Amino acid sequence: MLDRTGFAIGEQVVPPGKRQTIDIPVSILSDHTPVTMSAHVIHGKVTGPTVFVSAGIHGDEVIGIEIIRRLLKSHALNKMKGTLIVVPIVNSFGFINKSRYLPDRRDLNRSFPGSEGGSLAARLANMFLTEIVARADIGIDLHSAAIHRENYPQTRVSPDDPETRRLAETFGAPIMMQSPIREGSLRQAAADLGKRVLLYEAGEGLRFDEVSVRAGLAGILRVLHSLDMVAGRGIAAAKSPPQFCSSSKWLRAPIGGLFRSFRSGGDAVRKGEVLGTVSDPFGEDEVEVAAPFDGIIVGRAVMPVVNEGDAVFHLGRIGSFKKAEDALDDHSAQLTDDPMFDEDEII
């Protein structure tokens, strides 16, 4: 059935079968420079779901921006059913300043649902919620760790939300983390509107990571295919299901000094295994950081200088060490060898 109705957004209308970038005014800087939130809309000729993909809610998280850049160049979107809305940079203020936060030092992802007449963060949150989230059926929100930390590719799902967990299984990131919804977050505000948002976390702030980008791009295309929005040609399902972590724990530096990591993100480790050490600059004191349970390293610090109490490893709890190790090997091999990533337009 043809959808002959245009898609209205930001006081503009995208005709069926067309794609267009819409600049939605956000604010004017103190020097009179206008700031916009830009959304690229692909509105198919055939009816189907409406999905948004967003990145840059934290301005220093650039991994998602690169994922969206590659997504928009994918041939899979040429015959889109339904509507795809992509916002590469939600927080333009933070992106320009290479900062996680807005100029008023607020975290945008703790400022939802916001309000039209509130702080800068509240106004931007309200605009994103009303212009983008409210128009969609499902959302995929892309994040990375903060600077000096890295996350292994993972999706975050809420407890007791089987539908979002199904989306995460389809997305096929190596790890699926159970994560409660936080007050003021996009996920909470979207849930209040009856919308599901799948959160993808990977990589490090202000850095690109090819594995993280590939896992994110493949995951989005798998979700779009599962919704019958794009054809399945060249979109392979994940070889192994995501490793589900029902809980996690941050391991912290026992002393201040120089941190040396012996294991990497995505490594399956056994209880008692030494993951790294912290030494004082003279080498007189050295304290090991060991795994308190069998788990997967889902995140870690990459800055070697730490203070006592700094988080150095994020360990996700697993059920079976052997199954986790085998599955993570499968994911790594697939992301390396998948022919989808040989296409010129996404390299």
Domains in the chain, number? 2
pLDDT band for position 339 (50/70/90)?
A: low
Query: Could you tell me if residue 13 is inside a domain?
Result: yes
| Residue 347 predicted with pLDDT over 50 | no
| Residue 344 predicted with pLDDT over 90 | no
Average pLDDT, whole number, for the chain?
Answer: 94
pLDDT in tens, 31-63: 998 999 999 999 999 999 999 999 999 999 999
Residues 252, 223, single domain; the answer is: no
Query: Could you tell me if residue 342 is inside a domain?
Result: no
Residue type, 202: A
pLDDT at 345: 44
Residues 256, 225, single domain; the answer is: no
- What is the average per-residue pLDDT within 81-106? 96
Where a domain ends, among 215, 238, 261? 238
pLDDT at 346: 44
Residues 131, 229, single domain; the answer is: yes
Percent above pLDDT 70 for the chain: 96
| Residue 125 predicted with pLDDT over 90 | yes
Length of the chain in residues, anyone?
347
pLDDT at 341: 67
pLDDT at 51: 98
pLDDT at 337: 78
- What is the average per-residue pLDDT within 145-151? 96
Where a domain ends, among 172, 206, 238? 238
The region of weakest confidence among 280-284, 298-302, 305-309 is 280-284
Query: Could you tell me if residue 2 is inside a domain?
Result: no
pLDDT at 338: 73
pLDDT band for position 1 (50/70/90)?
A: very low
Query: Could you tell me if residue 323 is inside a domain?
Result: yes
The region of weakest confidence among 9-23, 259-273, 324-338 is 324-338
Give the Cβ contact number of residue 77 at 10 Å.
Answer: 18
CATH number of the domain that 308 lies in? 2.40.50.100
DSSP structure class, residue 155: E
Cα separation of the two ends of the chain: 35
pLDDT band for position 335 (50/70/90)?
A: confident
Instruction: Say if CB 16 and CB 82 are below 8 A apart.
Output: no
**What is the rounded distance in angstroms from the CA atom of residue 174 to the CA atom of residue 219?**
10
pLDDT at 3: 46
What is the residue range of 199's domain? 7-238
Residues 113, 26, single domain; the answer is: yes
| Residue 13 predicted with pLDDT over 60 | yes
- What is the average per-residue pLDDT within 279-295? 96
Which string of b and e fits 12-45 if b means at least 16 CB within 10 Å? eebebeebeebebebbeeeeeeeeebbbbbbbbe
Instruction: Compute the Cα dihedral for 175, 181, 183, 187 and give only its sign.
Output: positive
Burial label for 307, CB within 10 Å (0-12, 13-18, 19+), is exposed
